[in-house]
Structure 1
Amino acid sequence: MEQSNNRRGQRNDKPEDNIGNGQQFSGEALDIASRFQKLQNSVILYKKKNEALEKEKGELINKLHELSVKNDQLQTSYNELTTRFDSEKRRWQQRANDSDLEIQALKKKLIELKDEASRYQSALGEATNVRFGDDDSNNQVQLSKAIIEMQNLLMDFTTVKGKDITIDEKAVSELLTLYKCKTRGKPVISAALQRSTFELLVNYTTKYLTRRPKTIQPLPSSQPRQSFQPSNQQQYQQQYQQAQQSYNQRSSMNQLPIDDAYLESEITIHMISLCNLINRLGETRNGTDEITRVTPVKVRQQVYAVLGSRGFCKDNHPIIEKLASYILENIGKYRKISDEKQLEFQYKAIEVVKKFAHLYFRLNAQEPIPSYSRYFDAGNPLQNNVMDGSWDDDNMDNLEVEICSFPLIYIQGKNNSKKILSKAIVLPREKEQC
């Protein structure tokens, strides 16, 4: 009993020990409850994620089903297209085989036609070919080079620079007024002299070659000059008529001996007369041959080609000397050259005339005959496609033509198209501000 009471007494003696143990148990319970709550929250969260995944899984299964259905459809379409492709391939292969047979037959026919054409070509020769070969001096590429040489000779001949050259201000002012120039600088004066000289060469050479010798007179230098070259059919027909009249007049005089100085003129007049007669034959006689239509063209081309090679090629040719004196006299009204330079410019004048004469013949040997009388008047807008000169493309809208020193040379094609052989040489000026 005593022991039992002692034990009770011991327990009663320290009641705080029992209180501490209860608090310890309570803290552990709270910790367990907290962890349990977290686990419950995690379970709820994972349930929600699982539900979302299940939903996404269902959507993916549906999409997979849809894609499977589309795949089946595409596979069916592919199979159909493959079948159609194979069918078309076989059909086109058959057509290709048939085409090969047709091509072989056409090639055989082509060879036969070429042989037949060759026989006709051999019979006609080159009678209907109006084009010059690549190596011919009358070829358009060579012709373009000759035009550039002519331009350079004119620029050198009409120079107004240097201490040996004096300008007649009054005469130059009249010339520039004629061409409606507003500036009076030396480049403009030289350009005006180039144009005046070229116009004189065109006019006199045309008259010399198509009129009787006694009718040829120097052109009044003070009057504006217009070109008479056959740049279109109407002008060419007028030349035919003039040449025919001249030829008839000489025929009525029992064909007087031809003066050697006018040999080139006689050849040209006879050529024009012959072409005129052949054209008349084609107009008044029935027939369907091509050679009649082409012959006048070929005759003209060949005669001018011959004259372009040998015309005026004679030392001290009187016509060359006369024309050289004309252009020296014309340009002498606007500038004076010192005695020391007179002989030099006489030689230059001879070279200018010779170069122009050969260029004239080669131009008229073309088919169709180019136009070489197109000058652009002062005040016209600049056009890069038909004009050449020194200007900045970015500033073109503020510029206009001051003077056109060398004409536009072109061949008029079908549908108003133009083949440019040489652009017009132009000096620009500033536009007047409104």
Structure 2
Amino acid sequence: MAEKNTYYQGSHKPKQHRGIKIHTYDHYDWKLFMWFGSLKKIENLIHLFIIVWDAIPIESDTDLSIEFNEETSKMVEIIEELNTLGAVDDLNFSKFIDDYRNHRYNNPNLKKRLLRIAWESLENSGLNLDPRNVSEQLDVCTNQQKLSLRQMIFSRMKSFNILATQMSKVYEISKSKSLLKENENLKNQILSLKKENSQQQAALGNITNVSWNHDDPNNASKLISDIEELQDLLSDFTMVQGGDYKINDMTSGNLIKEYKCQVEYPSTKGRVVLGAVLQRYVITTILKEVELYFKNTSSYEDRGIDMTLECDLVNATERLISYTEKFRDNRKGDDELTKITPGRIRQQSYSTLGCRGFSDDEHPLIKGTVEKLLNELDKFRQVVDKETNDELHDQAIKITRNVINIFSFRLKTQAFELKHQFFEAGHDVDVRLMQGSFGRDDSKRMEVEVCSFPCIGVFNGDDRSKQSVFTKAQIITRPKRSNSGNQ
């Protein structure tokens, strides 16, 4: 009997099925076959490959284990060839295969997480069938049928390889013709950027004199990396897809409507949107709690200075910045030091807060916010898997501290003070400020369904020339309606 798929486990009874046979016909089998044939993206085939292998018990079968290792190595080789040809621009796919192979034997929990990613990818790519049924269908297939399915996947991957090889040859021919012109354009762009950079440095009074070392946590590259890590943490924390979660469709549907999303709910796409809405809900909930804390620190004073130290430091910093700005503007002189002093105070003080602020798990702000987050999420979904549920409290602490650390402190450590901006449902898609599953050509026909993570940058009204994007907003899109205007 095939191993039960570890991602879509639940209390349902598996349907009685003896496998897909040539002389039998089942409408669901046909829909599943049509869906397999409709997969158009390389990453879809990679994720399907993982899911098929997960339905095969290899741990106690030496021959199957050898076959598994050989096929995963073969898949990694194909991915790397496609990367060389430019058809795949992300070697993380080969790492994904390697990680699954290692975790299959050594770490069931991490293997389960990779399967979750694979299922979500297929759902987001148009899997209109119930994933539980797909999982059951794979479980009851014979090993020979699963082998045929994997052979189909390899055949499709090789087709991509052949097409990429042909396109690469055409590209090399056209590339040689345009190389001289492109080189000249790049030279002109470099000269223009140098001129623009010089003008900005002069206009800003050389405020960028304060720079961070490469290994400093406030280095721009490190900050971007930590923002991306926070996005991953939020995605895991707000998970609503799969058998580990029981969704309250009424409260979840109301929350989706509150954010003016138009997706049909409940539905597969509706759950994807719900997860994104919950990510935004978590961020805004934490930031509201921080705002309340800074406004009402007097209620903590009887507990000692330790409970209000971060707030005291923020208030003192803002007062000192205000005084040095007034001093700069109202006292004559042409020295550079006075010009950059307010910025240096801001960067250094908030850097200190970013390193050690609210580091105690028992601080009332951290403790109270974590409790509120868990209670709020319970209104929309319950975690039925005990192991997953046990991890939620630690995840909530880490996310709470990271949101405060980044949004309240570290965005103020850069040469230009960074702000964050969410985009509401119905807003036009702007590829300069947003990213998601859409192409540049598609963006003109799309609008925002939900913004799960804000855009971070320097915003000065609607003047695009004065906008600078640090990290783009994470959005899910929807087609524009013919009667909708620009937001």
Tell me the TM-score normalized by structure 2: 0.50
The aligned residue for residue 457 of structure 2 is 410
Residue from 347, 354, 362 that aligns with 2:394:
347
The aligned residue for residue 213 of structure 1 is 297
Give the deviation of 1:166 after TM superposition.
Answer: 2.0
Residue from 401, 418, 424 that aligns with 1:370:
418
Verify the 8 A CA contact 2:425 2:449 in the aligned structure 1.
yes
Change (3 A) 1:152 1:257: closer
SS of the residue aligned with 1:385? coil
SS of the residue aligned with 1:181? coil
Verify the 8 A CA contact 1:411 1:418 in the aligned structure 2.
yes
Change (3 A) 1:300 1:330: same
**What letter corresponds to residue 213 of structure 1 in structure 2?**
T
Verify the 8 A CA contact 2:433 2:472 in the aligned structure 1.
yes
Give the deviation of 1:322 after TM superposition.
Answer: 1.6
**What letter corresponds to residue 391 of structure 2 in structure 1?**
E
Q: Distance in 1 between matches of 2:447 and 2:323?
A: 47
Q: Please show how residues 190-339 of structure 1 align to structure 2 within 5 Å.
A: 190-208=275-293, 210-214=294-298, 258-338=304-384
Q: Distance in 1 between matches of 2:305 and 2:378?
A: 30
Q: Distance in 1 between matches of 2:256 and 2:428?
A: 19
The aligned residue for residue 179 of structure 1 is 259
Root mean square deviation, CA, Å: 2.8
SS of the residue aligned with 2:209? coil
Verify the 8 A CA contact 1:127 1:291 in the aligned structure 2.
no
Highest RCO, 1 vs 2 (Cα 8 Å, sep ≥ 6): 1
Q: Distance in 1 between matches of 2:221 and 2:208?
A: 21
Q: Distance in 2 between matches of 1:187 and 1:179?
A: 14
Q: CA deviation digits over 1:16-65, x for unaligned, max 9?
A: xxxxxxxxxxxxxxxxxxxxxxxxxxxxxxxxxxxxxxxxxxxxxxxxxx
SS of the residue aligned with 2:262? coil
The aligned residue for residue 110 of structure 2 is none
Indicate yes or no: 2:470 matched with 1:424.
no
Q: Distance in 2 between matches of 1:378 and 1:419?
A: 23
Structure 2: unaligned runs, 5 residues or longer: 1-205
| % identical aligned pairs | 32
Verify the 8 A CA contact 1:128 1:290 in the aligned structure 2.
no
Change (3 A) 1:382 1:275: closer
Q: Distance in 2 between matches of 1:382 and 1:149?
A: 24
SS of the residue aligned with 1:336? strand
Q: Distance in 2 between matches of 1:141 and 1:369?
A: 16
SS of the residue aligned with 1:378? coil
Structure 1: unaligned runs, 5 residues or longer: 1-125, 217-249, 251-255
Q: CA deviation digits over 1:49-107, x for unaligned, max 9?
A: xxxxxxxxxxxxxxxxxxxxxxxxxxxxxxxxxxxxxxxxxxxxxxxxxxxxxxxxxxx
**What letter corresponds to residue 330 of structure 1 in structure 2?**
E
Verify the 8 A CA contact 1:370 1:409 in the aligned structure 2.
yes
The aligned residue for residue 273 of structure 2 is 188
Structure with higher Rg: it is 1
Change (3 A) 1:278 1:432: closer
Change (3 A) 1:342 1:257: closer
SS of the residue aligned with 2:360? coil
Give the deviation of 1:159 after TM superposition.
Answer: 0.8
Task: State the aligned residue count.
Answer: 269
